[in-house]
Amino acid sequence: LGKITKVELFNGEVQLGVADKVSWHSEYKDSARIFLGGLPYELTEGDIICVFSQYGEIVNISLLQDKKTAKSKGFCFLCYEDQRSTIPASNNFNGIKIKERTI
């Protein structure tokens, strides 16, 4: 079995009638931050901002890098100015492929 994404989990919770207050989704509903995993290693912070800014103003990005090589670890944390930007960004980018890697 493949990994279940949080969006798939949320959709499953809705179908099962899981109460909103016990859903993982309700815990993060007010956060303007998103986690991006599975990023191509060669992407820079500027590349990521360029792609993800189509859904809102990005105020902070933290692309994690290997301490010895300074190469990307393939994941980052991104913060939008407005929390409402996280919903279309998550919905539209979850599971897509960029340069042969699934986000």
pTM of the model: 0.71
Query: Which residue has 């809705």 as its token pair?
Result: 14
pLDDT at 91: 86
State the burial class of residue 69 (Cβ atoms within 10 Å of its Cβ: 0-12, 13-18, 19+).
Answer: exposed
Distance CA 100, CA 97 (A): 6
pLDDT, tens digit, 9 for 90 and up, residues 43-96: 999 999 999 999 999 999 999 999 999 999 999 999 999 999 998 998 899 899
Average pLDDT, integer, range 34-40:
95
Distance CA 64, CA 70 (A): 9
Can you name the residues that pair with 78 across neighbouring β-strands?
Answer: 34, 61
> Whats the size of the chain, residue-wise?
103
pLDDT at 22 over 80: no
Average pLDDT, integer, range 12-25:
56
